[in-house]
């Protein structure tokens, strides 16, 4: 298909699903009747590399490498085994060859090198996950062995979800990246550029736009742009995405524009629309929105367009047409069902709301548009888009990629999904806030929600207050318990080294995390060390947080800022112990170890009581009713089996069990009459209405509503939300 604009995600992001930025833009430009093609170069390179011919080329490259390690020597010796198995394994990971799982799980089908040294707990870890998942994990280790071969012998930049990431990590100067680009293209570059050229020949675009979400996409974007400048000079080249939005706002080095013609910031729809108009009819005084270019040898930032940004409700449905949807591969790196969601399964990506409804966390880039401009999308529009994407892609799994999905909108989304009787699976990122009641969690689960990820950050109330997170540890415990009771998995983002954090607070934070895992109310997590970013409240006002920034001259990227913590603590000493303990917790182990024992250095014992989280969960909920809360019934119609002595006996059928309850005849008859009116496809009814209806005939609605039989009914789908 010929296209005016070709949108490209350069290597590498995800193996299992497309990164959504190009699909979002294509969906918008469809409404503008602009022909847009798109390409995920990352998955195309992976499929080319991990084929029989690709591995043949790799082994030729590796066999001339001098002084290979013992591990690589073993892989080279098993070359024929790899060549025989690679294409069946890739087909299996694509879901096209499920029968191979039995063979993969039966040693010794796969050649094994050093990555297979971590298999001691395989039987335990996959006892509940099944043969397909065990085979995926083994196949993932097999690919990681081959990645070790690539890194050592062919291309030291290689990584499955990033490429030359070090070159893109807050490089204040363009020198190192420019020097790398002036070196000979690497082994991976050669594959990338060949695939790029093929796409250029088939689409003949006038403009190529690179979406660069992460540092690990940056080098490849510039390498591809360099190739286009040399071989297709008529094509204009633009770049946008998460990396420019956060890192390149202070760009000054004109050499960048030897490779890229334009760099746009923040939401891309309007800037790209105006940029295309400018490229069609260039003007001496460009009319652009949030766009860098080079004029007269100097970097210019042009933001003179008066048009507002495109509203999210008007941006259109993301369009994945042209991407190799059936060829993505699912891998399982860690034997943990929650942790695997990022790399296993095919997810359509959507956003419930642009920006963050909270927008206060002091470590976050809340001064930038992608956080501070909050704009939710109506639930009805969201579900319209979900239905369109299911029709387009054939997949009914959705990952909502929000900064923090708003609970009120999630409730409306769930009701709309249930009203339309859609069968979908979805997950998203949230704040662990008190709006997540037990009943709301049950509603979300009923609509297809399977998992939440959210920032616990530092499990310390003092530091959570300093971060302005708006939650407490007790609150997080109760909310995650509601999620788990509803059958929703939980992943926690964890932080250490926040300004003024003491050694004791780090140890106590780990104790809190251990207790959350031990009680089974968090299933997965990830520790990262605090990084001060230029656009966060800490970065903008470091003195207020007890840190001293070590600023460098900015010519290229500016996001992560080096700093000195006035406490003088070297927080990197915690890194290994925190990650090792978390790995064990995620696998259900290590709960009997005192937390200080995970560290090589001498650490203090925790000051947190061993039952702190358990005690928080034991706090009783109050028997209160909000008059404006909606009541819904998600169950089937109860079956009345007997009526005598002023009582009625009712059978309640759940999906996997049946329970009987006994109700007072008059009040129970009233309740059964109400249930059909409380279905999600009926007019919304609220507690206030039910109370008024009940008390026209009976007394004390609250006493009846919190009675034991009605509480049983609530477990089977009578929800107050």
Inside any domain, residue 75: yes
Residues 444 and 568 in one domain: yes
Q: What is the pLDDT of residue 125?
A: 53
Q: How many residues does the chain have?
A: 721
Residues 664 and 550 in one domain: no
Residues 272 and 410 in one domain: no
Inside any domain, residue 49: no
Residues 144 and 288 in one domain: no
Q: Give the residue among 433, 431, 587, 578 at the shortest CA–CA distance from 508.
A: 578
State the Cα–Cα distance between residues 45 and 591, nearest whole angstrom. 42
Q: What is the pLDDT of residue 523?
A: 95
For residue 294, what are its two tokens?
């080079």
Inside any domain, residue 330: no
Inside any domain, residue 423: yes
State the Cα–Cα distance between residues 132 and 95, nearest whole angstrom. 10
State the Cα–Cα distance between residues 342 and 399, nearest whole angstrom. 9
Instruction: Produce one character per residue of 103-114: b if its CB has 16 or more CB atoms within 10 Å, e if not.
Output: ebbeeebbbbbb
What is the Cβ-side half-sphere exposure of residue 422, based on CA atoms within 13 angstroms? 28
Inside any domain, residue 641: yes
What kind and span of H or E run contains 693?
helix 687-695
Mean pLDDT by 10 residues, the chain (721 residues): 95 94 97 96 98 98 93 97 98 96 90 84 57 92 97 94 77 93 96 98 98 96 98 98 96 98 97 98 94 97 97 94 96 86 94 96 94 96 98 96 97 98 97 95 98 94 95 96 97 96 97 97 95 94 92 90 90 95 93 96 97 91 83 90 87 88 91 93 94 92 92 93 94
State the Cα–Cα distance between residues 70 and 81, nearest whole angstrom. 18
Domain end point (choices 133, 153, 173): 153
For residue 517, what are its two tokens?
């895992």
Residues 430 and 525 in one domain: yes
Residues 561 and 699 in one domain: no
- Where do runs of H (alpha helix) occur along 404-502? 407-419, 438-446, 461-467, 473-486
- Domain membership of residue 218 as a residue range: 5-43+163-314
Residues 584 and 634 in one domain: no
3-state SS track over 251-317 = CCCHHHHHCCCEEECCCCHHHHHHHHHHHHCCCCCCCCCCEEEEECCEEEEECCCCCCCCCHHHCCC
Residues 371 and 299 in one domain: no
Question: Residue 37: exposed, middle, or buried by beta-carbon count in 10 A (0-12, 13-18, 19+)?
Answer: buried
Residue 104 sits at φ, ψ, to 5 deg, of: -60, -40
Inside any domain, residue 329: no
Q: Give the residue among 431, 426, 429 at the shortest CA–CA distance from 416.
A: 426
Residues 637 and 613 in one domain: no
What confidence tens digit (pLDDT) does each residue in 344-400 have? 999 999 999 999 999 999 999 999 999 999 999 999 999 999 999 999 999 999 999
Residues 552 and 677 in one domain: no
Domain end point (choices 558, 587, 618): 618
Here the CATH number for the domain that contains residue 27 is 3.40.50.280
Inside any domain, residue 604: yes
- Domain count along the chain: 4
Q: Give the residue among 239, 310, 304, 303 at the shortest CA–CA distance from 270.
A: 310
Q: What is the pLDDT of residue 165?
A: 77
Domain end point (choices 314, 331, 353): 314
Residues 438 and 525 in one domain: yes
Q: Give the residue among 210, 203, 236 at the shortest CA–CA distance from 224.
A: 210
Q: Are strands 524-529 and 489-496 parallel, antiparallel or unpaired?
A: parallel
Contact between residue 541 and residue 554 where contact means Cβ atoms under 8 Å apart = no
Inside any domain, residue 321: no
What confidence tens digit (pLDDT) does each residue in 252-310 have? 999 999 999 999 999 999 999 999 999 999 988 999 999 999 999 999 999 999 999 99
**Cis amide bond preceding 108, omega within 30:** yes
Residues 237 and 104 in one domain: no
């Amino acid at each position: 298909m010929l296209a005016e604009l070709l949108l490209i995600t350069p290597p590498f992001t995800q193996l299992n699903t497309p990164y959504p930025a190009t699909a979002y833009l294509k969906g918008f430009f469809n409404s503008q009747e602009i022909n847009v093609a798109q390409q995920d170069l990352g998955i195309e390179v992976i499929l080319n590399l991990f084929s029989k011919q690709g591995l043949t080329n790799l082994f030729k490259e590796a066999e001339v490498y001098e002084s290979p390690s013992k591990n690589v020597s073993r892989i080279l010796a098993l070359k024929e085994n790899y060549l025989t198995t690679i294409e069946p394994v890739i087909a299996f990971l694509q879901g096209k060859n499920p029968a191979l799982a039995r063979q993969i799980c039966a040693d010794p089908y796969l050649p094994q090198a050093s990555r297979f040294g971590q298999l001691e707990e395989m039987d335990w870890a996959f006892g509940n996950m099944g043969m397909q998942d065990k085979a995926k994990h083994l196949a993932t280790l097999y690919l990681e062995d081959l990645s070790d071969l690539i890194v050592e012998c062919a291309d030291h930049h290689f990584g499955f979800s990033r490429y030359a990431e070090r070159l893109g990590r807050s490089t204040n100067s363009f020198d190192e990246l420019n020097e790398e680009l002036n070196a000979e293209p690497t082994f991976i570059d050669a594959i990338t550029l060949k695939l790029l050229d093929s796409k250029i020949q088939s689409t003949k675009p006038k403009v190529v736009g690179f979406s660069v979400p992460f540092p690990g996409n940056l080098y490849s974007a510039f390498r591809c742009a360099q190739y286009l400048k040399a071989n297709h000079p008529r094509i204009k080249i633009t770049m946008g995405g998460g990396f420019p939005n956060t890192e390149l706002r202070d760009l000054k080095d004109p050499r960048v524009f030897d490779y890229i013609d334009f760099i746009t910031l923040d939401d891309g729809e309007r800037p790209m629309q105006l940029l295309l108009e400018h490229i069609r009819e260039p003007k001496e005084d460009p009319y652009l929105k949030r766009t860098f270019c080079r004029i007269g040898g100097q970097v210019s930032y042009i933001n003179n367009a008066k048009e507002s940004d495109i509203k999210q409700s008007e941006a259109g449905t993301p369009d994945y047409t042209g991407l190799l949807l059936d060829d993505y591969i699912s891998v399982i790196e860690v034997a943990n069902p929650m942790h695997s969601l990022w790399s296993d399964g095919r997810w359509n990506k959507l956003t419930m709301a642009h920006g963050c409804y909270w927008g206060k966390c002091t470590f976050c880039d809340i001064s930038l548009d992608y956080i501070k401009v909050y704009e939710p999308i109506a639930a009805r529009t969201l579900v319209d888009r979900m239905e369109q994407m299911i029709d387009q892609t054939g997949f009914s799994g959705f990952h909502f990629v929000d900064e923090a999905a708003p609970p009120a909108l999630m409730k409306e989304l769930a009701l709309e999904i249930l009203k339309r009787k859609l069968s979908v699976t979805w997950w998203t990122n949230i704040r662990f806030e008190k709006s997540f009641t037990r009943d709301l969690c049950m509603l979300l689960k009923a609509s297809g929600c399977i998992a939440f990820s959210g920032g616990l950050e530092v499990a310390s109330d003092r530091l959570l207050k300093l971060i302005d997170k708006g939650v407490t540890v007790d609150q997080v415990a109760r909310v995650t318990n509601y999620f788990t009771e509803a059958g929703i998995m939980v992943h926690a983002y964890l932080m250490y080294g926040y300004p003024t954090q003491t050694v004791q607070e780090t140890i106590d934070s780990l104790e809190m995390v251990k207790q959350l895992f031990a009680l089974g109310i968090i299933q997965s997590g990830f520790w990262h060390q605090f990084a001060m970013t230029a656009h966060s409240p800490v970065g903008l006002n470091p003195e207020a947080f007890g840190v001293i920034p070590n600023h460098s001259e900015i010519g290229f990227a500016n996001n992560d800022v080096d700093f000195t913590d006035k406490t003088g603590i070297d927080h990197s000493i915690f890194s290994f112990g925190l990650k090792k303990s978390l790995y064990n917790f995620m696998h259900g182990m290590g709960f009997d170890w005192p937390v200080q024992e995970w560290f090589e250095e001498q650490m203090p014992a925790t000051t947190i009581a061993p039952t702190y989280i358990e005690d928080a969960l034991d706090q009783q909920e109050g028997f209160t009713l909000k008059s404006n809360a909606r009541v819904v019934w998600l169950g089937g119609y109860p079956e009345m089996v007997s009526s005598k002595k002023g009582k009625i006996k009712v059978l309640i059928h759940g999906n996997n069990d049946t329970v009987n309850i006994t109700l007072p005849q008059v009040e129970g008859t009233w309740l059964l009459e109400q249930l059909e009116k409380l279905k999600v496809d009926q007019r919304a009814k609220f507690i206030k209405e039910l109370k008024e209806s009940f008390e026209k005939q009976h007394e004390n609605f609250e006493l009846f509503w919190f009675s034991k039989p009605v509480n049983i009914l609530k477990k089977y789908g009578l929800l107050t939300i």
